[in-house]
Amino acid sequence: MKLRVLSGIQPTADSFHLGNWLGALRQWVRLQDTHDAFYCIVDQHAITGNYDPKLLADRTLSAFAQLLALGLDPQKSTIFVQSHVPEHSQLQWVLSCLTGFGEASRMTQFKDKSQKDGAERATVGLFTYPILQAADILIYRANQVPVGEDQKQHLELTRDLAQRFNTTYGETLVPPETLVLSEGSKVLDLTNPSAKMSKSAPAGCVFLLDDEPAVTKKFMSAVTDSGSAIEFDPQNKAGVANLLTILASVSGRGVSDWVNEFSGKGYGELKKAVAQAVTQQVTEPTRTKANELLKDRGQLIKLLNDGAVKARSVAGETLNNVYQKVGFLK
Ligand code: TRP
């Protein structure tokens, strides 16, 4: 029996970016060969903050097209949209009745995000976001959850809630393990290499749907430093180290190999090489394939419906068990 993994990604931008790909989506593609993989486009999480309702459906479909273009295969994995599987929010209600108000208040992501927008503007949906995330995972009885470092606290809450449910009502839910995605693949903002690459700083962010001139322009204007030697020194030469990390990840050749190759050469040459590797290996193939897939929306929607049917057959079983244990009248 294969272990089951579940992960989720929000459809909050027109395009995923290089950080999403190297930090998470690349691992998703690998995991579908070794695991029983469930991948969820979390549109319900995407409405917890400011968002444009006119764009959400298109972004959800585009997110799916990009996942397929990157190599996720609906024959191997169950790929679906969160709002198509109502069992997530049904389980969330039960879990929220097991979550302490203080416990939820200690979630650092909520504290950060609500501080940014002002506590008055933060919604209850943002506050209960981690409980919905726990439901996303527990409804499939997933064994492992591949996520970035920043999601560790949400995963601890997920495990605590599973154990608390089991202690209160009897063995039902599976406390999942966290598969922390490797730190080495953290991609930094090209114009500000002290921050993570993020869609909210588009100048330093390479989107997977960017065309070749846009990708090249972004890499050629990457911030390096006033020196000229190409060395891997993340502390003192963060910009250069970031370019080397990207080049190594995309090419499959180690950083030290590339450092040797570029000895005596200038930053301009390194930038050109990274831009070329990224366009050839990642952005051009993804963009071409995703745009081709998006020409047939009907087919994409059909695949997502199939995914939702598969997902609901597992989610429905868990929810039945949960409702019975909780004591709801059948
Ligand atoms: N909160 C996750 C993030 O921001 C997204 C997410 C929602 C998720 N539900 C999930 C990740 C379930 C893993 C499992 O990255």
pLDDT at 184 over 60: no
- Average pLDDT of the segment spanning 250-261: 94
The tens digit of pLDDT for each residue in 202-237 reads 999 999 999 999 999 999 999 998 898 999 999 999
Active-site residue (options: 2, 54, 76, 113): 113
User: How many angstroms is it from 269 CA to the middle of ligand 1?
Assistant: 38
8 CB less than 6 Å from ligand 1?
yes
How crowded is residue 280: how many other Cβ atoms within 10 Å of its Cβ?
A: 13
Residue type, 112: D
pLDDT value for 115: 85
The tens digit of pLDDT for each residue in 282-326 reads 999 999 999 999 999 999 999 999 999 999 999 999 999 999 999
User: How many angstroms is it from 175 CA to the middle of ligand 1?
Assistant: 16
pLDDT band for position 185 (cuts 50, 70, 90): low
Instruction: Give the residue from 9, 31, 29, 32 showing the smallest Cα distance to 20.
Output: 9
CA distance 248 to 245: 5
pLDDT value for 170: 98
222 secondary structure, DSSP code = -
The tens digit of pLDDT for each residue in 36-59 reads 999 999 999 999 988 999 999 999
**Which residue segments constitute the domains of the chain, with CATH numbers given?**
4-185+297-326 (3.40.50.620), 202-292 (1.10.240.10)
| CA nearest ligand 1 atom 8, residue | 8
pTM for this prediction: 0.95
User: How many angstroms is it from 270 CA to the middle of ligand 1?
Assistant: 34
Residue with tokens 């087919």: 299
Residue type, 124: V
pLDDT at 117 over 90: no
CA distance 148 to 186: 9
Which segments of 221-288 are extended strands (E)? none
45 CB less than 6 Å from ligand 1?
yes
Is 237 catalytic? The answer is: no
pLDDT at 160 over 60: yes
pLDDT value for 148: 85
- Count CA atoms closer than 13 A to 208's CA, side-chain side: 29
Q: Is 259 left (phi over 0), alpha (psi -120 to 50) or beta?
A: alpha
- CB-based contact 304:79 (threshold 8 Å): yes
How crowded is residue 48: how many other Cβ atoms within 10 Å of its Cβ?
A: 20
Q: How far from 61 is each of 8, 17, 143, 217, 320, CA to CA, in Å?
A: 15, 16, 28, 28, 30
- Average pLDDT of the segment spanning 104-116: 90
User: How many angstroms is it from 219 CA to the middle of ligand 1?
Assistant: 29
- CB-based contact 91:100 (threshold 8 Å): no
Residue 148 CA: nearest ligand 1 atom is 15
Residue 316 CB partners (closer than 8 Å, separation 6+): 87
Kindly state the greatest CA–CA separation across the chain. Answer: 75
CA distance 120 to 131: 21
Instruction: Give the residue from 78, 35, 81 showing the smallest Cα distance to 58.
Output: 81
Task: Please report the sign of the dihedral spanned by the C-alpha atoms of residue 290, residue 296, residue 298, residue 303.
Answer: negative
Burial of residue 248 (CB within 10 Å: 0-12, 13-18, 19+) is buried
How crowded is residue 30: how many other Cβ atoms within 10 Å of its Cβ?
A: 12
pLDDT value for 218: 97
| CA nearest ligand 1 atom 13, residue | 7
The pair of structure tokens assigned to 94 is: 């039960």
- As a whole number of Å, the CA-based R_g of the chain is 21
3-state helix, strand, coil in the chain (%, to 5): 60, 10, 35
